[in-house]
Structure formats: structure tokens, C-alpha cells
Structure 1
Amino acid sequence: MPNRRSTLALALAGLAAPSLARAQGAAGWRPSRPVRLIVPAAPGGSNDIVGRILAEPAGQILGQPVVIDNRAGAGSVIGSEAAARAPADGHTLLINSSLATVPAMVLRMPYNTLTDFEGVAVVGFSPHLLVVNPRVEARTAQEFVALLRANPGRFNYASAGIGSGPHIGGLLFMSRMTVQAETVHYRGGGPGVAAMVAGEAHFGTPTMASSIGQVRAGALRALAVLSEERSPALPDVPSAPQAGLPGVVHEEFFPIVAPKGTPPEAIAALGAAFRQAIGQSAARLNETTGVTPRAGFETSAQVMALVRDGVESYTRILRAAGVQPE
């Protein structure tokens, strides 16, 4: 598909060029031991998959391994707090697509999302999906909405934890479609997807990264991509407007951050390395996870501005849906 290849080529060029320039300028700092990349969820979720795709090339660029450290629990709060409290020496990072959603859901946060981190990079953006277990008797989103309305409280949906993207996606779907279902929280996106495949949960709004393999294999039925347009990664699945789900648009992004106070030279070197790794992995990220890299996040301030905008946007969406932090 020419359009898709040109989009990925532009993303790769926009990411790699500034990365190479910064790598030269930040040559004075290099990690002295393995870099820990905290994933605040169980293995198999979107952050875990994306983090593992980037770990090897980023480690090669940095000259030290990038080691995934899964810290699941409390809708990503446990792992994020561990990252915020880690020594600010450049050897601990966090990848968390729920970083901007949690403050809208959790009343007493043990860390401050906007002041306890330094931005490193943004891997890319990916829409969530509306999926059901294949045994659910609905082949379209409209059939599924009708099924939920006819059976209030009979069905449940899989959340990846309080404040996670799949949790917010489910709340947004139910609010906009005026349907009811029971929320079941799992310890991350991977366990939530596994529960839907097993039939333990009937439906969910998982990230494309964590569920695209199961959709392609027929283990889950995708009823909609929760974006304004179809995704090249799942071209046969209708977008939210095409599926009759107006306003149910839910896209996640993957920020990589470091503890506040990490030296600027370390942030510059880490950012350069990860942007270069993202550029090298752009095609693989899009093909295997539906994550599309975008240029425009070359500085720490730009990364944190995106997180701040996300906090404000998710808070606005949830308050409009009548959801208050707990």
C-alpha cells in the first residue's frame, strides 16, 4: 500500500534525523550498566509488547542492555510509582500508555504525573478496539449495542486496571451508547485479553497492540477500530463512525519517561537512542501492534506537554461521562 509505506517512511525520517544529530551531541553520557525499562503491567499487554520491540535496538545504540521490568498492579500505579521513586541517574525508565489517564481516575496519587517525570520519547499512537469473544452473538457493533440494551448487567468487560486505557475505553463506550455491563479489572492488558479469549470476559476495548494477534487469528472478533478512520493494520474492521459508534474514539500514546532530576545529558542521550530505535522499528511497530510513530516529540518538554494535554483531555471526557476519581 503506497500510502502506508510513505507514511512510515516519513515517520522514520522524522524520527531518525534528529536522533542521529542528538546522539552526536550527547556523546558525553552513556549508561554504565543495564537500563531498566519499567512496564507497569503484566507481560503481554501493549506497553510490554512495544517495550520489548524497542529494547534490543535501543540497547545496541546505548551500548548497554535495556531490560524489561514488569511491575503490575493498581492500574499501572505501582510500576509508575517505582519509576518515579527510582534514582534519577538515567538507568531507570518507564513506558506507560496509561500515564495520562490514571490521574483522571485515581483520587489519591502517590506521585505527580506532571512534576515527577522527565520526558524521554514518544513511541507512537494506536487506537483501541471494540472486541468480543467469538461466542457472543453479535457480528457488528450495532448488533452488540442492541444485545447489551436487551440484557442490562448480563455481560462483563475486561479492564486492564483502574484508570487504564481499556478501562476508560469501556466507560466511554457504555456512556456514549447508554448501555450497562459489569467491569472486571485485570492486572494489565495481556491478562484482560486472555480473559476475553477464554470467554471469562465477554468484551473489551483493548489496545490494538495487545489484541491484534488474537483478532487476526480469530480468537477475538473486532467490531470497530475506535478511531475516526480505519487502520491499515486491520483494514477490514470499520472505524467508530462507520460502525455506528459516534464519539467513541479512543486512541492511546506510548510515552517513555525518566524520574524527575535525571541529568539533561542523560535525557538527551536516552531520547536520541530511543528515537533512533523507534525509527528503525517503525514498520515492525505498525505491522505487529498497530502503533504508528509520529515526529514532533524531540524534546523532554514536548513529551511532557503531550502527557499534560492527555491528562486534561481524559479528565474532561470522564467528567462528562459522570465518572469521578476514586
Structure 2
Amino acid sequence: MTIARRSTLGFALAGLAAPALVRAQGSTWRPTRPMRLIVPFAPGGSNDIVGRIIAEPAGQILGQPIVIENRAGAGSVIGSDAAARAPADGHTLLINSAHAAVPAVVARVPYNAVTDFEGVAVAGFSPHTLVVNPRFEARTAAEMVALVRANPGRFNLATAGIGSSVHIAGLVLTNRLNLQAEPVHYRGGGPAVAALVAGESQIGTPTMASSLGQIRGGGLRALAVLANERSPALPDVPSATEAGIQGVVLEEFFPITAPRGTPPEILAALGAAFRQAIQQSAGRLTEMAGVAPRAGFETSAQVMNLVREGVDEYSRILRAAGVQPE
């Protein structure tokens, strides 16, 4: 069960910098007031971190500040719905790594994740991690599996909200490994990680962006990076394959979208600015959030094709795991 759509091209994005800059300078559209980038989760999660890294340089390129607006609730549905209903004038954008996951988990979504949005850019890709509270008895993934199986229902599994990619990663983990852990849904990746650090929940599958600081600082113990290979951001943490939990390989991606009907010339200007900002911030994204930018998303259609593929892939994974939308 692997969500992996394109091989990482890393700093091949450098080749995109020059054309992106030309397009940004050549476009006639510019925002006329401060813009807002809606993050549909509480502060401190992966979308909040990634959004703040790229918002400042993108705003400098466009000539107006980009303000982060955290609108948490319903596993990102509330904030995403607000973005879908916003005027299609280029002044409201959405960054949501759960955008493609929500339709696979939530039965009644008030918007269409594909047709109610236009693609702007993709900030990057990042694997999930398997972490535990440092006081948790298990020190390896194999020990964690044995302990949870021996104590069904005793331990809590922290998620970033129903429909979040963290929720789906937890579902894949428990279904694939035949584990019984009680899911506890928080209002974003930041609160979920805070609950793990505090011991309210014992096990989690957070995104690398939201958990990296606590892992490095000792607030969380990482048992595995849920990827086929180790991450440069956490070189001492085994991959899922090395940890013996094959099949639990998941990554999130960060699409930046605008409301449906945003004019093509505005999308072109926004896309060029954000791609340039992402390229400029590639080192910070990897170091601070474990997020790797990739080439191949230079048009609005390419961004939305990735979202469409994600909706299909998440749905396939969860239906295979016996999970139906609620």
C-alpha cells in the first residue's frame, strides 16, 4: 500500500527557477491587497509549517504579503470549504495535504476536491513517521506491534483529524499490521504531536514536518520513517522496510490551490511565484519539515491531476483495508 507517484527530483527544481522567474516578471497580474493562504488545521502542523516557509518569499515576488489563516475543524473540511467559497480573484489560496484524502474518508463533503479548485503549485512531498511517546515501552517497530497486539484497545493512536493524511496513515498501519488501537482525533498535526509528547496518546503516524522538531529534540521516539528508504532529514531512523513493517509506506503532498474560476492569467502568475518561492526555499523545506520539492507541476492541470490521482489512490487503499467513508 504505497502512495508514491513520482520519483524525487530534489534540486532538479533549480532548472525551473529561471523560467519561473521570467514568467513571474512577465505576467501583468499582481494582487492589489494582502493575500491569505488558508491552512485548514491548527498552528504547528505540517501545512502550517510548510505554508509559512514559502508564503514570505512568494509574497515578496508578488508584491503583497501573504497572511497565513488557520481555519481548523472537521479534518480540514471547514477551511477548505471557506477557500472553495472565496472570490476567485487570486487573493485567497489553500494549502492542504489532506485535500485528496478527505473524499476517501468523509462521506458528505460540501465541496468537490477536484472540480471546485484550480491548481497553483505543489510545495513538495514528505513521508509519514511512526512515533511513540518516549515513556512507551517499545523501542522498535517490532516491539510496538507485539505490545499493541498483546493489549488490544489499551493504547491511543493520535490523528490530525478525521480525513487527514495522518488519520489515513494510522488506518493503514492498524489494518495492515492487525492492531487494535483507539484513534483520538485532534484539530491538526500540531495538537496531535503535542498530545503524543504529553502522553495523552501513545502512538502516532504524524507527518515528518509536524514531528521533526520533537523527534530531534527527544520529545518523541521515532520507530520508523514510513518510506522505502531512510530520509535525509532523519538519517538514523530506519525505513519501514528496515523496521519490518513492509506495506506501511505513505507520503503526503502539499497542493496549493485556488477557488474554481480563477482566471488563467492569475493562476499563471501565482504558479510562477510559488514555484520560484518553493525552489528558493527547497533547503529549508527539507531541513525544517522533511519536505522534498519535485519537478513536474508547472501547470494548473498538472497540480489537479495529482490531486485526482490522490483521491483515487487513497480510496483504493482504504477500500482494500475495509474502511468506508463515514
Secondary structure at the counterpart of residue 324 of structure 1: coil
Instruction: Give the fraction of aligned pairs with identical amino acids, expressed as a percent.
Output: 76
- RMSD value over aligned CA atoms? 1.0
Q: Using the alignment, how far apart are the partners of 1:18 and 1:35 within structure 2?
A: 24
Once structures 1 and 2 are overlaid, which stretch shifts more, 17-26 or 291-300?
17-26
Q: Using the alignment, how far apart are the partners of 1:54 and 1:194 within structure 2?
A: 24
Matches within 5 A, 1:1-326: 8-11=10-13, 13-26=14-27, 28-326=28-326
Are residues 137 and 253 of structure 1, via their aligned partners in 2, closer, same or farther at CA, if it must alter by over 3 Å? Answer: same
Partner of 1:3: none
Q: Using the alignment, how far apart are the partners of 1:45 and 1:15 within structure 2?
A: 28
What letter corresponds to residue 262 of structure 2 in structure 1? T
1:227-285: CA deviation from partner (whole Å, max 9, x where unpaired): 11100000000111110011000100000000000111111111111100001100010
What letter corresponds to residue 76 of structure 1 in structure 2? S
Q: Using the alignment, how far apart are the partners of 1:9 and 1:231 within structure 2?
A: 15
Contact 1:120 1:271 in 2 (8 A): yes
What letter corresponds to residue 320 of structure 2 in structure 1? A
CA shift for structure 1 position 17? 2.8
CA shift for structure 1 position 8? 4.3
Q: Using the alignment, how far apart are the partners of 2:167 and 2:48 within structure 1?
A: 18
**Runs of 5+ unmatched residues, structure 2:** 1-7
CA shift for structure 1 position 25? 3.4
Q: Using the alignment, how far apart are the partners of 2:176 and 2:10 within structure 1?
A: 33
Q: Using the alignment, how far apart are the partners of 2:65 and 2:313 within structure 1?
A: 35
CA shift for structure 1 position 21? 2.8
Contact 1:15 1:294 in 2 (8 A): no
CA shift for structure 1 position 150? 0.4
CA shift for structure 1 position 78? 0.2
Contact 1:117 1:257 in 2 (8 A): yes
CA shift for structure 1 position 19? 1.2
Contact 2:56 2:66 in 1 (8 A): yes
CA shift for structure 1 position 166? 0.8
1:193-225: CA deviation from partner (whole Å, max 9, x where unpaired): 000000001011000000000000010000000
CA shift for structure 1 position 23? 1.2
Q: Using the alignment, how far apart are the partners of 1:181 and 1:16 within structure 2?
A: 46
Contact 1:233 1:290 in 2 (8 A): yes
4+ residue segments displaced more than 3 Å: 6-9
What letter corresponds to residue 21 of structure 1 in structure 2? V
Are residues 298 and 61 of structure 1, via their aligned partners in 2, closer, same or farther at CA, if it must alter by over 3 Å? Answer: same
TM-score between the two structures when normalised by the length of structure 1 = 0.96
**Runs of 5+ unmatched residues, structure 1:** 1-5
Secondary structure at the counterpart of residue 241 of structure 1: helix
CA shift for structure 1 position 65? 0.2
CA shift for structure 1 position 20? 1.4
